[in-house]
Amino acid sequence: EAGVVQSPRYKIIEKKQPVAFWCNPISGHNTLYWYLQNLGQGPELLIRYENEEAVDDSQLPKDRFSAERLKGVDSTLKIQPAELGDSAVYLCASSYLAGGGYNEQFFGPGTRLTVL
Amino acid sequence: GENVEQHPSTLSVQEGDSAVIKCTYSDSASNYFPWYKQELGKGPQLIIDIRSNVGEKKDQRIAVTLNKTAKHFSLHITETQPEDSAVYFCAAVTGGFKTIFGAGTRLFVKA
């Protein structure tokens, strides 16, 4: 079974330019997460989707970041405009949440963004 | 807000020795505690987890303990091997399925 797929793996852009990341979760997983991972730190949640609904976007900087998960499968995370401080690894994860279940998450390889 | 502290940040051991990583969490509503291993250029991979109604869990060379009263949980790796070298993250998950990660421990296993 294929794991979580992310693209691109690497992206280098100039500051103030837009950038988008794409994620395809594990088939059948109803929950999708976008995390930000700075160098030497643990992942920090940006947004969590249950099916098509964004149920936790409290940590998403909404002035420049946006995300969507149309049809409850693939997801796209966008930054516009990018700033130097956005350089980081952007991780996508997915899980299957059922009533009373716990939260085993499967991570993709991440997209390493460098803003110059 | 919720917080997970992880120690040490770096750990170097000789092959065959044991390694212990410790975490504390702040949110008493946390009920699930996964541990992840992250190798260079890859995403975190779940290696073991424990629920709040269990005090200890073991899987071959890896064990995790949980002290809910003290809000502490620990990862124990015995008979370490060079391929255990990686960054390890603890995490605490609340009843609302929000996952808070520790800052990570870089483990070096010297052959």
**Cα A101 off chain centre by:** 22
Contacts of A105 in chain B (CB under 8 A): 34, 46, 99
Interface A:B, Cβ pairs < 8 A = 56
Contacts of B97 in chain A (CB under 8 A): 31, 48, 97, 103
Three-class SS of residue A69? Answer: coil
Interval A80-95: pLDDT, tens = 999 999 999 999 999 9
Q: How far is CA B21 from CA B2, B35, B46, B69, in A?
A: 20, 10, 15, 18
Interval B31-86: pLDDT, tens = 999 999 999 999 999 999 999 888 999 999 999 999 999 999 999 999 999 999 99
B34 to chain A: closest CA residue: A104
Contacts of B36 in chain A (CB under 8 A): 107
Residue A40 phi/psi, 5° resolution?
75, 15
Q: Using CA atoms, how far apart are residues B72 and B5, in angstroms rounded to an integer?
A: 10
Contact B105/B85 with Cβ under 8 angstroms? no
